[in-house]
Amino acid sequence: MVKIAQFEDLEIWQKSMDLAVKAYHLTKKGNFKLEYSIQD
C-alpha cells in the first residue's frame, strides 16, 4: 500500500499539475494570449 504523507504524493494531484502546465503553455502562444486574459 502506498503511503501518502502530503497531497503532492497523490497521483491525481501530479496529473492535474501536468495538465495545468500544458494549458499554460498552450495559452501562452499566438492569438489566444492576445484575445483572452487567462494568464492575468
Residue 9, C-beta contacts closer than 8 angstroms, at least 6 positions apart = 2, 3
Cell of 6: 502530503
Mean pLDDT rounded to a whole number for the chain: 82
- Owner of C-alpha cell 494568464: 39
Q: Give the span between the Cα atoms of 39 and 21, in whole angstroms.
A: 12
Q: Could you write out the three-class secondary structure of the chain?
A: CCCCCCHHHCHHHHHHHHHHHHHHHHHCCHHHHHHCCCCC
Q: CB of 20 within 8 A of CB of 14?
A: no
pLDDT at 39: 54
pLDDT digits (tens, 9 = 90+) for 23-38: 888 878 766 666 655 5
pLDDT at 35: 62
pLDDT at 20: 92
